[in-house]
Amino acid sequence: MIKLSIKTKYKTLVFFSLFFISFFSAQTDSAPQITAVGEQAFCIGSPIDIVTDFTISDLDDTGVAVFYIQISSGYQINSDKLALPLSYSASIKQVWNDLEGKLILTPIGRTEISHSELKEAVEDVFFTTTATNVTQKKTFSLTIDDANYLPSTDHFYEFVSEEGITWTDAKNAAENRPLYYGRQGYLATLTSQEEADFAGKQASGSGWIGGNDIEEEGVWKWVTGPEAGTIFWNGKANGSSPAGKYAKWNNNEPNNAGQNEHYAHITDPSIGISGAWNDLPNGGGARGPYFPKGYIVEYGTPGDLPLNIVATTNIYIPQISSTTEAIICESGIATISATPSEGIILWFDAETGGMQLPSSGNSYTTPLLTSSKIYYAAVSVDGCSALERTAVNVTVNKRPVIRSIKDDLICSGSGDLMARTSAGEVNWYASETSMTSLYTGENFTTLPLTSTTSYYAEANIDGCISAKRTKVTVTVDATIPYFELEKETYVLCNDIGSVTLKTINFEGNYTYNWTKDTLPLSSNTSEINVNEVGRYKVKAVSKAGCESDEKIIIVRNSEIATITKENVIITENSSNNSIQIVPLNLGIGIYEFSIDEESGSYTTDVFFENLSPGIHTLFVADKGGCGIAEYRFSILEYPKFFSPNGDGVNDFWEINGYHKDFYTTSSISIYNRFGVLLFTIDEENRSWDGTYQGKELPSNSYWFSTILTDINGVSIEKIGYFSLLRK
């Protein structure tokens, strides 16, 4: 065993202590401290330095091998650019990355740019743009590292290029990358549009990010970093994000094509929406735009200590925060104004070019105007006059007029008035001079009125009112309409088809409301043609809307009578010949009767007496006018005696009332008391003269026999006797 003296041990302890201090000091590189100042108004069309002051310090270094300045927000690709003046071309190399909006500075002919030289160079870096519609604010991030910095999240991002890497390997690789100044890396979780756009611009091809739906199809979660377990999408392409969450899927994505696409990646820039996402299998797609090109690493979690390796500055376009326009009636002078976010307001007469107008402060007073005109205000800071101009309108309104009106006529209640204006709105007043508007609008419904009342309409467009008010009147006429009915009952004949119901003696120009069995009919005139029986009602309505009481009209059905031998009882050969009508089965009408006079007087009596022998006609008239039916009948009288003595009185025996043409069959024979046929009455021999075979027969009783059938089918068989008298 080797023994050391106390002195030797002490020297050895000092040696090892110095060795370890020296070793660990050599192994630990302090992070630099960067500050930048710059919050500047940008004058479109002019270059602008991105900082007004810049410092960098480092405990153990006096220079940097590379420095990055990026437009981290508001970047407009292919238009925006950062650059160093050409005076630095011999000592500092500058490379502009248009895809990322990043300027890279490296030394020429040496390994580092000194801090003092970097300060001078950064303070000379300037921004230009060719964009015509410049974003309102742009942020510049300045750092010594290639990782991209997003100020809104205070996180760093980098795209790691590794073709063909699977999503699972990319996740592991991201989490095992060296700490970024003490910050743990992970596959990026992009939770806002700004963050998604920022990361998307870095991906030069298909790049994996930290989301999948492997746990449950269609339920997309962030599975890396501090957002692990957070659902950001439900469903396929037609799905949605939960409230407060964000996703940026490409067109028609996600779609789980092949039923194995469960991993999120940023789509190749050549496909669809720039920086948007797609779902792919773990190994990605085949060679082509869906073949994995790498992955996006994000550095930053809650609780991370701030890093001062990045500083940010901003430029912005001063804005007009508000404007005050003006309205003139017919002609006049107006004052308009605009309020800038900073600086002063310049006034112009055109949107571009044109002439700058003399003005006082933020306001401008126009010359006399007789038509509308647009002026333009622009913010000016430090003499800049190239900022976007904002239109400020001076509207010159023509004095409006009331172009048309509509009065109203009412029976009672509220009136509905109308006034149309050439422009603007209509205000209604109770008088020509009233200051209080009753209503605004073209159609005005009044309060309930009991007498005729006038109102006044005034046109108004932005305070420019019509030269005079127009009177519009509600006339109250409470007169109840009066009319009478032509008839209260009408008959609809089966063989006619329709009947006209009429009102008469009306005292005004009314419209009429007709109903049938409570159902409204289309006619509104004083008469209506109907073809159905029923209970009809009619009421008149005046122009003012007053309504009469309803009147009832009955339309019943009827028809011409049908009369046969069964409907009559005839009594003949008597001292009081008669006919009695049996009204059963005549028809559905109401009938009245007349004998032998069609145009004579009719009666509802059904018994007619004292009829003379002969042919008679019974007329049956329908009281509803549906027609007159006829029934012909015969009254026969058989004489009791005759005296054929040549005195011209009762010289022949014949049946009174008998007419051969009325009977379809007839047989009339005369016999003596012994039954000997003495004579037959026929068409040629209509009476008997009391002879037989040329000889006069003596006074005696003789017999007759009749068999008759009349045109109505009535059969008569009668046997009787009479006396032959000779003196």
In a domain, 27, yes or no: no
Region label for 25, one of left (φ > 0), alpha (ψ between -120 and 50) or beta (otherwise): alpha
pLDDT value of residue 19: 34
Q: How far is CA 574 from CA 372, 593, 609, in A?
A: 114, 23, 11
- Kindly state whether residues 454 and 507 are assigned to the same domain: no
Average model confidence (pLDDT) across the chain: 91
User: Which of these three, 476, 493, 522, is where a domain ends?
Assistant: 476
What is the distance between the alpha carbons of residues 227 and 216, in angstroms, rounded to a whole number?
17
pLDDT value of residue 14: 32
User: What is the distance of C-alpha 274 from the center of its chain?
Assistant: 38
Run of H or E residues at 175: helix 167-175
In a domain, 588, yes or no: yes
Q: Which residue has the tokens 């065993």?
A: 1
Would you call 196 helix, strand, or coil by DSSP? helix
- Kindly state whether residues 448 and 506 are assigned to the same domain: no
Split into its structural domains, the chain has a count of: 7
Beta bridge partners of 264: 279
What is the distance between the alpha carbons of residues 255 and 280, in angstroms, rounded to a whole number?
9
User: Which of these three, 364, 397, 430, is where a domain ends?
Assistant: 397
pLDDT value of residue 29: 53
In a domain, 633, yes or no: no
In a domain, 24, yes or no: no
Cα angle 385, 389, 393; round to 5: 135
pLDDT value of residue 495: 67
What is the distance between the alpha carbons of residues 58 and 49, in angstroms, rounded to a whole number?
25
Predicted TM-score of the model (pTM): 0.52
pLDDT tens per residue across span 69-81: 999 999 999 999 9
- Kindly state whether residues 179 and 294 are assigned to the same domain: yes
Give me the DSSP letters along 400-469. Answer: P-EEEEE-EEESSB--EEEEEESSSEEEEESSSS--S-SEESSEEEPPPBSS-EEEEEEEEETTEE-SS-
pLDDT value of residue 147: 76
* Terminal CA-CA length for the chain: 213
Contacts of 365 (CB under 8 A, 6+ apart): 333, 334, 335
User: Which of these three, 119, 143, 167, is where a domain ends?
Assistant: 143
- Kindly state whether residues 187 and 294 are assigned to the same domain: yes
Averages of pLDDT over each 10 residues, the chain, 727 residues: 31 32 42 92 94 92 93 94 95 95 95 95 97 94 84 90 95 94 93 91 82 96 97 96 96 94 93 92 90 94 86 95 95 95 94 89 94 95 90 96 96 96 96 96 96 97 94 96 93 83 91 94 93 94 94 93 94 93 91 94 95 95 92 94 89 90 90 93 86 92 94 92 89
- Residue 581 belongs to what domain range? 565-627
Question: φ and ψ at 604, to 5 degrees?
Answer: -85, -5
What is the 3-state secondary structure of 562-588? CCCHHHEEEECCCCCCEEEECCCCCCC
What is the distance between the alpha carbons of residues 199 and 152, in angstroms, rounded to a whole number?
13
Contacts of 619 (CB under 8 A, 6+ apart): 593, 594, 595, 597, 598, 602, 628, 629, 630
pLDDT value of residue 401: 96
Q: Which residue has the tokens 């205070």?
A: 154
- Kindly state whether residues 163 and 291 are assigned to the same domain: yes
Longest distance between any two alpha carbons in the chain, whole Å:
215
